[in-house]
């Protein structure tokens, strides 16, 4: 299958313009799965709850989702899209998996970064995995990378590809995602945004680009530039992720010893 990313610079609050940009960029792309950045329709730095309410949408029938579904139907591909979700239980920093037949699944970000805690509720859907036929897909968002338990939870449910919409500002994640790939024998696709966002009374955020994709053995297929915009697609065989054999006698899952692992902090300081 052909999978990849679209890296670009969304403009804050300009949902219509961002959607046009995405549609134009993907209108002629030959791919099966494309991952877009976190919060790619709205931009990142909210300044009020009213703004969050106004810009977030239902991931089932919001106008952005309807346009994404139409795009998937037209192009016969799957999209993973980072989007601000408004629901009956509150607003979430979410990622949706959409296909030619519509909405497939939603992941709500579990590990919220910095002021996201002010604007979004903590994700309450765990780390689900969906089988789209071509591959089994899991999703995590940006800062989830720093918690190895996120990628592990996805891999332990037999995901082939970890899709990772991001708005990265710190420099560590691209290399860390190679580790996530190796330790789980899973393909990873990190779609990051570019540009700088400065909003009233907020610190200016510069996003590091460098969207990338790894094989299930941690080989880097590509890493885009810091300020590059564009689509990058590669051909992969996602079933390679189902081979967890590291050496003749080491199988990744058989070699785990959960009975020896400590899950919760035991100390007091």
248 binds a copy of itself (CB under 8 A): yes
Return the structure tokens found at 77. 């591909």
Is 256 a residue that touches a copy of itself (CB under 8 A)? yes
74, 149, 226, 235: which one contacts a copy of itself (CB under 8 A)? 149
Smallest gap from Cβ 173 to a copy of itself, in A, equals 9
Angle at 100 between CA 99 and CA 101, to 5 degrees: 90
Q: x/- string (CB under 8 A) for a copy of itself, residues 40-79? A: ----------------------------------------
* Contact set for a copy of itself, span 159-178 (CB under 8 A): 172, 175-176, 178
192/142 Cα distance (integer angstroms): 8
Asked whether position 2 contacts a copy of itself by CB under 8 A, the answer is: no
Residues binding a copy of itself: what is the number (CB under 8 A)? 51
Choices 2-10, 22-30, 220-228, 251-259 (CB under 8 A): range interacting with a copy of itself:
251-259
User: In 3-state terms, the chain is what percent helix, strand and coil (to 5)?
Assistant: 25, 30, 45
Contacts of residue 119, Cβ cutoff 8 Å, sequence gap at least 6: 46, 49, 52, 91, 93
CB-hemisphere CA count at 13 Å for 56?
Answer: 26
Asked if 133 interacts with a copy of itself (CB under 8 A), we say: no
DSSP output for 101-139: TEEEEEEE-SS--TTHHHHSPPP-S---EEE-SS-EEEE
Helix (H) or strand (E) run with residue 53 in it:
helix 49-55
- Select 76 or 250, whichever has its Cβ closest to a copy of itself: 250
Is the CA virtual torsion 152, 153, 154, 155 positive or negative? Answer: positive
Under the criterion CB under 8 A, does residue 153 sit at the interface with a copy of itself? yes
Query: 142 catalytic, yes or no?
Result: yes
152, 128 Cβ separation under 8 angstroms: no
Active site residue 163: no
Please list the active-site residues: 38, 109, 142
Applying CB under 8 A, the residues found at the interface with a copy of itself are 110-111, 113-115, 117, 122-123, 126-127, 143, 146-150, 152-153, 156-158, 172, 175-176, 178-180, 182-183, 218, 242, 246-250, 252-253, 255-258, 260-267, 269
């Amino acid at each position: 299958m052909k999978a990849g990313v679209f890296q670009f610079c969304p403009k804050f609050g300009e949902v219509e313009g961002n959607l046009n940009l995405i549609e134009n960029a993907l209108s002629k792309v030959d791919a099966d799965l494309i991952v877009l950045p976190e919060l790619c329709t709205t931009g990142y730095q909210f300044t009020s709850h009213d703004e969050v309410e106004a810009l977030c949408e239902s991931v089932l029938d919001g106008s952005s989702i309807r346009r994404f579904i139409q795009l998937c139907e037209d192009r016969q591909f799957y999209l993973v899209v980072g989007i601000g979700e408004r629901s009956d239980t509150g607003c979430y920093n979410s990622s949706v998996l959409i296909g030619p037949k519509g909405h497939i699944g939603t992941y709500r970000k579990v590990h919220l970064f910095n002021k996201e805690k002010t604007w979004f509720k903590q994700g309450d859907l765990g780390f689900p995995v969906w089988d789209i036929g071509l591959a089994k897909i899991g999703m995590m968002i940006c800062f989830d990378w720093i918690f190895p338990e996120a990628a592990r939870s996805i891999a332990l449910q037999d995901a082939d590809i970890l899709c990772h919409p991001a708005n990265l500002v710190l420099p560590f994640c691209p290399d860390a995602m190679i580790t996530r790939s190796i330790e789980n024998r899973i393909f990873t696709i990190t779609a990051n945004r570019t540009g700088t966002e400065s909003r009233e009374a907020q610190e200016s955020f510069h996003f590091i680009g460098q969207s990338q994709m790894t094989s299930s053995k941690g080989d880097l297929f590509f890493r885009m530039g810091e300020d590059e915009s564009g689509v990058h697609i590669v051909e992969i065989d996602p079933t390679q992720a189902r081979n967890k054999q590291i050496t003749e006698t080491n199988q990744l899952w058989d070699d785990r010893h959960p009975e020896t692992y400590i899950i919760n902090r035991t100390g007091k300081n």
